[in-house]
Each structure stands twice: as structure tokens, then as C-alpha cells.
Structure 1
Amino acid sequence: MNRLVLWNVDLTLVDVTIVAREAYADAFRMVTGRPLVKLAPAMGRPDSEIVFETLAVNGIAVEDHHLPKFLDALAVSFAAKRKRLTAEGRAMPGAKDALKAVSRLDGVIQSVLTGTIRSNAVHKLTAFKLDKAIDFEVGGYGEEVYPKATLLQVAQGRAKERYGGAFTSANTVLIGDSTRDVQAARIGGAAMIAVASGRSTAAELREAGADIVLPDLSNASEVVAAVARLTGR
């Protein structure tokens, strides 16, 4: 039996907010020649969406070339700062043990469904040694200009192509911290384990329709039991 477990990255597995904000500021300056005044809030959105809004709120008339140039600059800027991640960021409580424990489930495939562009997602997880159980080839990333629900279906398609078998709401689970993650799971076709470790409260996550809400990932047995229950239907 195949099980596909897709993890959100920021505020679910890691918190590197300070470094990420600085990388955005540097990328904005590289692309526009101006200092960044206001960064659009993330709120579980992909980098591609944040870039468009950030340019707009800073008075930049968005043109077709802006997005690829900004994402390239963001990758360069973040890579230059990757050695600061462990000093100025953190792995979320229980993240490493939860990933390791879930990896022991029969037939499990673990990847990411994240608003972060792929290169930066790899840097974030590698810095905290959270990458060992992750198949990055299967994931959905912030440079792909799709809503997160569509990215979820893209990831399911990649998993099918790579591993065979069908991936549906019966054997796919998304683990994330925002109401947008919950909405993506409901629309895209996955069960949802929400962790109240980000900016959404447990009550908000339940109201959005999460199947299971956990306070964080600190109880690995609880995480594994939730994944097993939701992917074994």
C-alpha cells in the first residue's frame, strides 16, 4: 500500500523567517534597484504570489520578466545566507523525530508541498538535517505558478509516475500549519493533519476543515498514528 505524505515547510518543519525576509529584501534590490519598503505577508501563499504582491505594494509596475528574475535572485540571495539558517532559525519542535517515525510506515513516500521555491526548500531542510526522508522530486514548489490545491494534484501525479499506483484522498495526507494548507487539502484531494505551530490557531484549523489538529509535532507517535489512520482508508 502506497501512502503519500506531503509536508509544508515554513512554520511546520522549520522557522527561518529572519533569513527569508532578508533574502527577499536583497532579491527586491537586485531586480528593481530600489530598497524594499514593504514585504507582502506569506500567509501560506507561494513565493510566486508573494513576489507579485510585493512588487505591486512597493509601486513597481509588474511585467512578464519580473517573476522569473525575482525568483532567480531569491534563490541566489537565500543560498548566500544558508550558513546562517541554524544560527538564526530553528527546526520546529519534534520535526526531526516525526519525519523519522513516519518514514517507518509501510509504503510511505514523504515529500513537500510548499510555497517556497525548490532550491530554498532544500536549503531549509538540509540545514536542520530534515532532508533524509524527503523525496524532493515528488514535491510541489513556490516557483510553479499554481494554486496550492493544484500543486497538490501535481505532486500526486509525480508520485504516480515515480512510484506507480494511484494517489487520492484515501492515501494522501498534507501536514501543514495554515488554513490555506487545509483549503488546499480539501480542494486538491488529500486528508489534512494541521499543526497549530504557525499563525493559525487550533480553532481556526478545525473550522477550516482539518481532519486532525495537533498542537505541534512533538509527539511522534501521535503524528504516525494520525498519518496511518488517514492514509489507510
Structure 2
Amino acid sequence: MILVLWDIDRTLVYTGDIDRRVYRETFTSIVGRPPTALPARGTGVTMPVAVRDLLRANHVPEHSAEKLAARILAELPQRLSGYRDMLAGDGIILPGAVAALTAVHQTDNLIATVVTGNLRDSAETKLSSLGLIGYLDTTIGGYASDNPHRPALVRIAQDRAAAKHGSRFDRNNTVIVGDSLEDVRTGLEGGAKVIAVASGTTTAEQLRAAGAQHVLPDLTDTDTLLNLILRAGRPDQGEAL
């Protein structure tokens, strides 16, 4: 069995400025003033890391930052859920994503879930609003609500998949598909092979230089993607394509 860990934002979907609007509204609600700086786009860092960066960039005193961060993180998913209609109407499913998800979902011995910098409720809101959640077993994913250190999410997903399917998952049979340098780092440090897609803010050259085993321009070549996933799941084969 091969565990396929999908990133969400800028790999499967693009939600425009909705996340940044949610960060702005939640910060204003909790801190009591609007932020003058927002998280950088497309970095792939986990939401807890982004929130702490947000507080730091907006000169929130260190002694109160931890408590405020916890309150912001608790409110973010609920506030995002208020944008379901906007996500469904304005969110974009990236080219090839549905075909790629379908191919993985329908292939024997491939188990598809997510490893994402989103909190679990936020991830499920995005996926369900855009009609993609049925292709993924979100109960065995790794989320920022599990651990703010993104590489740790690989082992969390592997352990959950192992408990459900009775198979052992490690670097030899786990593949991440993602668009950012954080996705590459997550795989390399967390214990998964990396198929990067240059559909976000990071170039193919940057993804390759960071250590991704394979880099595709996007998800539109379903056959190539599926072949890479299947071959990466064979011991000692994933590096020699």
C-alpha cells in the first residue's frame, strides 16, 4: 500500500484572498485593532506559525502573544466556515486536480489523505466547499491542529493510516504531492518522497533545488503523476525515475 499525502492550497485549490480576509477579521476581533501586515502568500507554513508571525509583525507584545495566538487559532476555522458560499463560488480547483484525485482514489492500494498547514476544520471546510472531500480520507490526515511543526505531520498521518489499514507506512511507501518549499521540507524531514508541482508561488527550479525527487508543472498529466506515485512506492525505485 502507498500513502499519498496531498497538500491543499495552491496544489489542489486556490482560494484567493479568503484566507487573508479571515486572518484580518480574526486578528481584529481578538486583538482589538486591524493588522497592518498579513502572512506571506503561498509559503506553506502551518497556521500556528503564521499566526505567531502575524502577531510579531504587528508588534503585539511577546508576553501576551501566546494567549492571543491560542484565541485566534480557536476562532479561525469558525470564521472560515462563514465563507463557505464564497469558497464555493470564487475558489478555484486547480487544473488537473479532479482527474488526479480521481485516479489516485480509484487505484488499488493507494490511500489518499492530506498533510496540510491548515487546521483540520479549515482544511475540511475548503475541501467540502469545493467538492473534493470525497476523494480523500481526512480522518487519517496530518493537520496543523495536530502539531505546528509541519514535518511532524507525516508521522501522524502514517500512524493514523497504519492503525486504520493494518499496514506500516514509512519513507518507502509514502508520497507527498505539494507546491511549496515547506512541502518539500515536510517530506524530506518527515519521512516521505516528494512529488512537487510548480502551481504555487515557488518555481520548478526552486522546488528541485530544495530536494524534491520529482517536479511537475501542474497536475494536468494524470498518467505521469500516477506513474510517479506508483514507482515512488516501490523500495529503491523512487529516486531513479
TM-score relative to the length of structure 2: 0.92
Identity %: 35
Name structure 1 gaps, 5 residues minimum.
none
The answer to whether the 8 A contact 2:12-2:97 is kept is yes
The answer as to 2:190 corresponding to 1:217 is: no
1:14 aligned residue: 13
Q: Is the 8 A contact 1:102 1:223 kept in 2?
A: no
**CA shift for structure 1 position 116:** 0.8
Alpha-carbon contact 1:194-1:210 (below 8 Å) kept: yes
- The answer for the alignment partner of 1:44 in structure 2 is 44
- Cα distance in 2, alignment partners of residues 40 and 216 from structure 1: 24
Alpha-carbon deviation of 1:144? 2.8
CA RMSD after TM alignment: 1.2
Pick aligned residue for 2:167 from 165, 168, 185: 165
Please give the secondary structure, in 2, of the residue aligned with 1:174. Answer: strand
Which consecutive residues of structure 2, in runs of 5 or more, have no partner in the other structure? 236-241
Q: Which amino acid aligns with 2:32?
A: G
2:55 alignment partner in structure 1: 55
Per-residue deviation at 1:38? 0.6
1:205 to 204, 207, 226: 207
- The alpha carbon displacement at 1:83 in A equals 0.7
Given that 2:37 and 2:54 are in contact with CA atoms closer than 8 Å, whether structure 1 keeps it comes out as yes
The amino acid that maps onto 1:50 is A
Match of 1:181 in 2: 183
Shift of 1:179: 1.5
CA distance in 1, matches of 2:84, 2:24: 15
The amino acid that maps onto 1:105 is T
Instruction: State the alpha-carbon separation in 2 of the partners of residues 176 and 64 from structure 1.
Output: 29
Q: Distance in 2 between matches of 1:165 and 1:184?
A: 22
Please list the CA deviations of residues 70-96 of structure 1 after superposition, one character each: whole Å capped at 9, or x if unmatched.
012111210111110132220111111
Deviation at 1:104, TM superposition (A): 2.0
Tell me which residue corresponds to 2:117: 115
Give the Cα separation in 1 of the matches to 2:92 and 2:203: 20
Residue 35 of structure 1: aligned partner: 34
